[in-house]
């Protein structure tokens, strides 16, 4: 059986930063991703990031992936990459099982950083399974990575950051956005994104939801309706929009299967997207040697995922005896960055969620 | 429908290759996901639900949701949103849950 010191599952922003930070301290790292490329969802994010310089503010997500990959290259001798490799199990004895090239491979690491990210949530309404109804992230992948338009017209459900950003990016690709709707009475995403879209003349309809989707083999039309202050449908407020694409952007669920299998203590925290692991300040779960970073620990922005990755890498390495001379300083720098990313009104939900799972 | 002009992105495409979907020949780019090639060719229905035979397209496009399972070169339950297109690939609509060989 193969061995390694730190296995990192997921090579998105969190996993990449975790690998760089642990390997830079001398730990032997195995970085595993089910895709044939690293970068996770960064590779489709053409927008510039917020935050501060340390989290690559004002740089496009697609370019951040490149920067992180270059950093990773510096530690080639410490990092073993396993791509096209899907982790399918984590067992009681600490063994990780994965599938690569149709082979079943077992690895025994000394510790693990789970950075598996999150998946898109779904919305319930009649005919929600019609082709043409896609996750907003899926449409972003199709358009920005593969250069294929999802359709001619799009109605976007969800005025959070993903809904707003993907709408804008689809417009850049020449696709017509008919409307953005959100069940909430307020726009959830940053107002800079929302104003950019409104200036292009696209209506953002708050307090609206999807009542019905129509079509035989694919989406042709949606029926929308208004919601009152108690989130109930307003009678006779229905209206139709003809569209061949409906994008669903109603949040993400952490991909926590491996943590459940491992027996980590989990807690349901809606503010963080669903069930998330209980963890300490070092991002270690209730199982010793199992760390988490990024969306799997609670859905946030990629900026905080990168800082969490660095922190988890730092702490996992320390637990194995690779102690940075300035460990406390580096750790505090990470914690300060996270606090600042989660500060103010926009971070309120995240702060209240984290307070419930941090021990 | 392919995106031909983009203010930020340029799309590095593989070479143009033929593939077969349900007996008909289509063109796509080598290395792109099969689902992207099908979508560009106007094919949105990738399969049907087991019980009610309702049409299914992809949903997540990153290999998570299993909405896009098809038979590829005879192998069932292939996620075509991540499986890469190769020359002369034979892609078929899957009927049922697929058999172990």
Write out pLDDT tens, residues B28-83. 999 999 999 999 999 999 999 999 999 999 999 999 888 999 999 999 999 999 99
The verdict on B20 touching A (C-beta cutoff 8 Å) is no
Select from A198, A217, A248 the last residue of a domain: A248
Give the number of other CB atoms < 10 A from CB of residue A330: 18
The verdict on A150 touching B (C-beta cutoff 8 Å) is yes
pTM of the model: 0.93
- Measured between alpha carbons, how far is A35 from A22 in angstroms, rounded to an integer? 22
Domains, chain B? 16-92 (3.10.20.440)
- Total domains in chain A come to 2
Same domain for A241 and A280, yes or no, is no
**B38: helix, coil or strand?**
helix
Kindly indicate the confidence band of residue B100, based on its pLDDT and cuts at 50, 70 and 90: confident
Same domain for A110 and A155, yes or no, is no
pLDDT value for A46: 85
Instruction: Please report residues of A whose CB lies closer than 8 A to that of B63.
Output: 34-35
pLDDT value for B7: 86
Instruction: Please report residues of B whose CB lies closer than 8 A to that of A87.
Output: none
Same domain for A113 and A146, yes or no, is no
The verdict on A141 touching B (C-beta cutoff 8 Å) is yes
Same domain for A177 and A238, yes or no, is yes
Same domain for A151 and A235, yes or no, is yes
Q: What value of ipTM does the predicted structure carry?
A: 0.94
DSSP B68: T
Same domain for A258 and A239, yes or no, is no
Please tell me which of the candidates B11, B49, B57 has its beta carbon nearest to residue A132: B57
Same domain for A127 and A114, yes or no, is no
CATH number where A77 lies:
3.50.50.60
Same domain for A107 and A94, yes or no, is yes
Same domain for A24 and A111, yes or no, is yes
Same domain for A115 and A191, yes or no, is no
Select from A229, A248, A267 the last residue of a domain: A248
Token output for A132: 């043409």
- As a whole number, mean pLDDT of residues A305-330 equals 96
Select from A224, A248, A272 the last residue of a domain: A248
Chain B residue with the nearest C-alpha to that of A152: B1
Instruction: Please report residues of B whose CB lies closer than 8 A to that of A131.
Output: 44-46, 55-57
Write out pLDDT tens, residues A199-228. 999 999 999 999 999 999 999 999 999 999
The verdict on A40 touching B (C-beta cutoff 8 Å) is no
Q: What is the CA radius of gyration of chain B?
A: 14
Kindly indicate the confidence band of residue B99, based on its pLDDT and cuts at 50, 70 and 90: confident
Same domain for A112 and A12, yes or no, is yes
Whether A217 and B57 lie within 8 Å, measured CB to CB? no
Whether A137 and B61 lie within 8 Å, measured CB to CB? yes
Write out pLDDT tens, residues A136-152. 999 999 999 999 999 99
Instruction: Please report residues of B whose CB lies closer than 8 A to that of A150.
Output: 39
Q: Which domain holds residue A197?
A: 122-248
Same domain for A311 and A202, yes or no, is no
Kindly indicate the confidence band of residue B101, based on its pLDDT and cuts at 50, 70 and 90: low
Whether B64 and A255 lie within 8 Å, measured CB to CB? yes
Kindly indicate the confidence band of residue B98, based on its pLDDT and cuts at 50, 70 and 90: confident
């Amino acid at each position: 059986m193969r061995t390694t010191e730190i296995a990192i599952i997921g090579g998105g922003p969190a996993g990449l930063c975790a690998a760089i930070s642990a390997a830079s301290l001398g730990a032997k790292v195995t970085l595993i991703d089910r895709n044939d490329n690293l970068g996770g969802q960064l590779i489709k994010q053409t927008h510039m990031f917020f935050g501060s310089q340390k989290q690559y503010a004002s740089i496009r997500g697609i370019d951040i992936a490149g920067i992180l990959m270059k950093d990773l290259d510096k530690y080639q001798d410490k990092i073993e990459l396993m791509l096209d490799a899907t982790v399918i199990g984590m067992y009681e004895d600490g063994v990780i099982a994965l599938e690569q090239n149709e082979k079943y491979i077992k690895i025994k690491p000394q510790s693990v950083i789970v950075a598996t990210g999150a998946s898109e949530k779904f919305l319930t309404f009649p005919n929600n399974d019609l082709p043409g109804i896609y996750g907003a992230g899926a449409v972003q992948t199709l358009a920005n990575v593969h250069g294929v338009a999802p359709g001619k017209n799009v109605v976007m459900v969800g005025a959070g950051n993903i809904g707003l950003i993907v709408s804008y990016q689809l417009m850049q690709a020449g696709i017509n956005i008919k409307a953005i709707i959100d069940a909430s009475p307020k726009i959830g995403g940053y107002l800079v994104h929302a104003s950019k879209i409104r200036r292009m003349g696209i209506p953002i309809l708050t307090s609206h939801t999807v009542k019905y989707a129509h079509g035989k083999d694919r989406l042709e039309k949606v029926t929308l309706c208004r919601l009152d202050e108690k989130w109930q449908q307003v009678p006779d407020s229905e209206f139709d929009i003809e569209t061949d694409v409906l994008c669903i952007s109603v949040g993400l669920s952490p991909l926590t299967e491996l943590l459940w299998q491992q027996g980590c203590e989990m807690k349901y925290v809606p503010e963080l997207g669903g069930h998330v692991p209980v963890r300490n300040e070092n991002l270690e779960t209730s199982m010793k040697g199992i760390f988490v970073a990024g969306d799997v620990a609670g859905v946030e922005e990629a900026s905080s995922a990168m800082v969490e990755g660095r922190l988890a890498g730092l702490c996992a390495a320390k637990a194995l005896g690779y102690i940075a001379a300035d460990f406390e300083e580096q750790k505090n720098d990470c914690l300060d960055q996270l606090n600042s990313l989660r500060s103010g009104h926009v971070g309120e939900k995240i702060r209240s969620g984290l307070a419930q799972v941090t021990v | 429908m392919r995106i031909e002009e983009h203010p930020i992105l340029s799309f590095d495409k593989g070479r143009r290759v033929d593939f077969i979907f349900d007996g008909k020949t289509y063109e796509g780019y080598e290395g792109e996901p099969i689902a992207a090639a099908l979508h560009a060719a106007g094919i949105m229905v990738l399969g049907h639900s087991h019980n009610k035979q309702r049409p299914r397209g992809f949903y997540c496009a990153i290999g998570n949701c299993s909405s896009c399972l098809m038979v590829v070169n005879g192998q069932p339950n292939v996620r075509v949103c991540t499986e890469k297109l190769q020359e002369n690939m034979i892609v078929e609509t899957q009927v049922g849950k697929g058999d172990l060989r």
